[in-house]
């Protein structure tokens, strides 16, 4: 329950900070920004969603540096862990056991705005993260054993936004995640491409467009 409260507080501060950031004037060289930063990836050829939140300082509206928190599970119901066989080396001889595998990590990131115009917004992003892999082994007697393995990683990605109209923006991105530490079987599972496919809706602009359409059918 304590962890859930912490996540709710993070989301609250993220929303509040984002609203305050929007009120900042364009003349300032540096401002603080917070945003949700979810993406998708593959673990052993299975699609997995990564939920994240990040906050940092944006300098001259082009360079951003900050911290992020990411995980494959959020509030114990969003996202999922991956089912795969895991070689348990803690037994003699080693045994292949069914397992549920997920991960969570904190990262330092840097982002650079490559292009921005009326239609396009393109950025490149690099992260260095440290965290852990959670491995839930399913024992033959029906019990569950939790193993945690520390890991570090690097991730590079490119994200593009296309403003389709005044209220709808399409978002896409590609990248790659590489684990710097961990067992070979874990590294093999988690070294994989990442991708972003989503859309952003500006509800204020949408409502204004609907009102304008009603007034001028």
Q: For 6-31, what is each residue's pLDDT tens digit?
A: 444 454 445 445 444 544 444 568 88
> pLDDT digits over 42-51, tens only?
766 677 788 8
List beta partners, residue 137: 99, 145
Domain assignment of residue 50, yes or no = yes
213 φ, ψ (degrees, to nearest 5): -65, -35
177 φ, ψ (degrees, to nearest 5): -115, 135
Domain assignment of residue 22, yes or no = yes
Task: Give the DSSP letter string of 80-141.
Answer: -PEEEEEEETTSSS-EEEEEEEEEEEEEEEEEEEEEESSSEEEEEEEEEEEEEEEEEEE-TT
- What is the reported pLDDT for 194? 87
Helix (H, G, I), strand (E, B) or coil at 76: coil
Q: Which residue has the higher pLDDT, 172 or 94?
A: 172
Indicate the pLDDT class of residue 60, thresholds 50, 70 and 90: confident
Domain assignment of residue 153, yes or no = yes
Q: What is the pTM of this model?
A: 0.71
Domain assignment of residue 216, yes or no = no
Task: Give the DSSP letter string of 137-187.
Answer: EE-TTS-EEEEEEEEEEEEEEEEEEEE-SSSEEEEEEEEEEEESSS-HHHH
Q: Which residue has the higher pLDDT, 159 or 37?
A: 159
d(CA 196, CA 174): 6
For residue 60, the domain's CATH number is 2.40.160.20
3-state SS, 8-63, equals: HHHHHHHHHHHHHHHCCCCCCCEEEEEEECCEEEEECCEEEEEEEEEEEEEECCCE
Write down the mean pLDDT value for the chain: 78
- What is the reported pLDDT for 204? 77
- What is the reported pLDDT for 99? 81
d(CA 78, CA 5): 15
- The percentage of the chain sitting over the pLDDT mark of 70, rounded to a whole number, equals 81
- What is the reported pLDDT for 167? 83
Domain assignment of residue 132, yes or no = yes
What number is the average pLDDT over the span 171-180? 89
- What is the reported pLDDT for 162? 93
Residue 217 has pLDDT above 70, yes or no: no
Residue 90 has pLDDT above 90, yes or no: no
Residue 209 has pLDDT above 80, yes or no: no
In terms of Cβ atoms closer than 10 Å to its own Cβ (0-12, 13-18, 19+), residue 3 is exposed
Q: Which residue has the higher pLDDT, 180 or 17?
A: 180
- Give me the number of domains the chain comprises: 1
d(CA 158, CA 26): 25
> Which contiguous run of DSSP H or E holds residue 78?
strand 78-79
> pLDDT digits over 122-148, tens only?
999 999 999 888 888 877 777 778 888
Q: Which of 7-21, 140-154, 157-171, 198-212 has the highest mean pLDDT?
A: 157-171
- What is the reported pLDDT for 112? 94
- What letter would DSSP give residue 210? H
The range of the structural domain enclosing residue 7 comes to 2-211
- What is the reported pLDDT for 64? 93
């Amino acid at each position: 329950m304590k962890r859930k409260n912490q996540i709710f507080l993070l989301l609250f501060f993220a929303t509040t900070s984002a609203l305050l950031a929007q009120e900042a004037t364009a003349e300032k060289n540096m401002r603080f920004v917070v945003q949700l930063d979810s993406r998708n990836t593959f673990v052993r050829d299975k699609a997995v969603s990564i939920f994240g939140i990040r906050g940092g300082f944006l300098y001259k509206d082009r360079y951003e540096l900050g911290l992020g928190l990411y995980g494959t599970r959020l509030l114990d119901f969003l996202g999922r862990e991956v089912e795969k066989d895991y070689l348990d080396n803690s037994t003699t001889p080693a045994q292949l056991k069914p397992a549920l595998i997920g991960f969570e990590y904190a990262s330092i990131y840097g982002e650079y705005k490559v292009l921005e115009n009326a239609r396009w917004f393109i950025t490149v992003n690099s992260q260095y993260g440290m965290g852990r892999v959670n491995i839930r082994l399913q024992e033959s007697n029906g019990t569950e054993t939790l193993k945690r393995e520390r890991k570090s990683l690097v991730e590079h990605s490119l994200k593009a936004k296309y403003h389709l109209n005044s209220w709808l923006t399409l978002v896409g991105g590609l990248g790659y995640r590489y684990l710097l530490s961990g067992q070979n079987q874990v590294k093999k599972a988690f070294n994989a491409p990442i991708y972003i496919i989503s859309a952003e809706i500006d509800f204020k602009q949408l409502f204004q467009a609907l009102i304008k359409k009603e007034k001028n059918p």
